[in-house]
Amino acid sequence: MFSQKTKALALLAALTLILMSLIGARDALSATQTSAQLFFLSDPFQIHSSASLITENSVGPVRLGMTVTQARKALPGFTLSRTSDGEGLALIAVKRGGKTLMTLYADEANPDARINERAVIEFVEAWDARYRTAVGVHPTMPLREVERKYGKLEEIILSEIEQREFATFANQPAGINLRVMNENGMAGVYSDGQGKATRFTPSSYVFSISIKRSRTRTPRFSSAYTNLKTQCKKPAKANDEGQHSSLFCRGVGNYRIHIFDSAMALHITAETLDRKTSIPLAEQNLNYDRQRRRIEWRLANGKPFAVILRVFKYSGKGEYPLQEKPTGEVLLVKGLAGYEQIDDEVDVKTTSSPNAKARALADKGYSRQ
């Protein structure tokens, strides 16, 4: 028979062996978890869902209101470099493995200048399919699948200058903007001459998802005017515009009005002083009387974003529609570059206070943007 002391020692030895075995298993598990973490570090999207989540204030770890320096620190393993787009904006490309995953805009003016590390991020656009909203909407997703997440399509807006398309769905969160595309043409099904659609083509998909920093103060709206009788001049060199009549009228900020004729119409456009951007406003009969007209520029905090112009409406039928008798008169409300979604008209005969109505439409469009 073993003594009580011998039994106690044997029990202690057995417990020690069990404890050592458990410690070994724990260390082995810890080593396995560490190896998995190191493995997933090769793809930061796999570590936490927050690394790829899109909200109204952030894309992954990048938040609106961050400085560029803060964004760099939040994106280890990524490179940030200067880039631009068709509008000549000073943008910042966020790349990994040579692929641009998102683009930042920090309100910098010169696309050729070095990145200002203290600039504040105002806009983020995600291009990579691994970035997703809370319900899983992501770039490359077909629009038919987006409808299952966000409800029925309400409209697709086509920007007049860049020809970019932006979709809005019934339950789409505020602050989440969806740019859409179709490789074989337009994503939206548009009526002739229209920039809005309520249906999409079957193969359309989400091209990118963007967020924009909210304005911190209520915009101060005001108006300025261009008198088409007294503030227009012919170009300094008569041959600059060919054989057709051409006039340049003083505008506001970086814009002016350009009026010129073609064989069958008088064209009125708003253009930047360097002529790199031109926004068609209206086509009128060659007998259009500009002597009694003026253009209203709508401004927010002193910067122009839309124009209001009184023009004639035509039936659009017949071989030469602009040569026929006008069917009515309207105030056109047209957005300038960056505000192309502003595109309305007000019937001057059937609308009470049509000028006030036109200003309200312009201001509403600015606030939506």
How high is the pLDDT of residue 319?
65
Would you state the pLDDT for residue 49?
64
CB 257 within 8 A of CB 278: no
Please measure the distance between the N-terminal and C-terminal CA atoms of the chain and give it in whole angstroms: 91
Give the distance, in angstroms, between the CA of residue 318 and the centroid of all CA atoms in the same chain. 38
List 291's β-bridge partners, or say none.
none
pLDDT at 10: 53
pLDDT in tens, 88-139: 789 999 999 999 999 999 988 888 899 999 999 999 999 999 999 999 999 9
Q: What tokens were used for 324?
A: 């026929």
DSSP label at 78?
Answer: -
177 φ/ψ angles, rounded to the nearest 5 degrees: -110, 130
Q: In whole angstroms, what is the distance from residue 94 CA to residue 114 CA?
A: 15
- Say if residues 143 and 156 touch (Cβ distance below 8 Å): no
CA distance 50 to 28: 29
* Rounded Cα–Cα distance for residues 247 and 318 (Å): 29
Helices (H) and strands (E) in the chain, counts: 4, 23
Model pLDDT, residue 192: 82
Q: What's the pLDDT at 318?
A: 64
- Three-state secondary structure of 192-257: CCCCEECCECCCCEEEEEEEECCCCCCCCEEEEEEECCCCEECCCCCCCCCCCCEEEECCCCCEEE
Say how far apart CA 279 and CA 272 lie, in whole Å: 9
Q: How many CA atoms lie within 13 A of 9 on its CB side?
A: 5
Distance CA 282, CA 279 (A): 10
Structure tokens at 198: 């309520």
**pLDDT for the residue 244:** 63
By DSSP bridging, strand 53-54 and strand 132-133 are: parallel
pLDDT of residue 100: 97
Q: Are 246 and 256 in contact (CB under 8 A)?
A: no
Q: What is the DSSP letter of 67?
A: B
- Say if residues 281 and 332 touch (Cβ distance below 8 Å): yes
Residue 322 carries which DSSP code? G
Distance of CA 126 to CAs 42, 54, 359, Å? 20, 9, 34
The answer for residues whose C-beta is within 8 angstroms of residue 248's C-beta and 6 or more apart is 232, 233, 234, 235, 256, 257, 258, 259
* Residues 176, 55: Cα–Cα separation, whole Å: 7
CA-based torsion, 25, 29, 30, 34: positive or negative: positive
pLDDT of residue 11: 52
Task: Specify whether the CB–CB gap between 75 and 61 falls below 8 A.
Answer: yes
> What is the pLDDT, as a whole number, of residue 23?
43
Taking only the tens of pLDDT, the chain with its 369 residues reads 445 544 554 555 555 444 445 444 444 334 333 332 332 334 444 434 678 999 999 999 999 999 999 999 999 999 999 999 877 789 999 999 999 999 999 988 888 899 999 999 999 999 999 999 999 999 999 999 999 999 999 999 998 777 899 999 999 998 999 999 999 889 999 988 788 999 999 999 999 999 998 755 678 999 999 999 999 998 876 544 445 678 999 999 989 999 998 878 889 999 999 888 899 999 888 888 888 899 999 999 899 999 999 999 887 676 666 667 788 999 999 999 889 889 999 999 999 999 999 999 999 998 876
Integer Rg of the chain from CA: 30
For residue 103, the model assigns a pLDDT of 97
Which tokens is 320 given?
A: 């030469």
Distance separating alpha carbons of residues 284 and 47, to the nearest angstrom: 60
Strand order in the sheet with 99-108: 79-83, 90-96, 99-108, 123-126, 205-212, 177-181, 165-169, 153-158, 196-197
Sorted by sequence, the CB contacts under 8 Å of residue 360 that are 6+ apart come out as none
Look at residues 305, 258, 252, 303 and name the one whose alpha carbon lies nearest to residue 278. Answer: 258
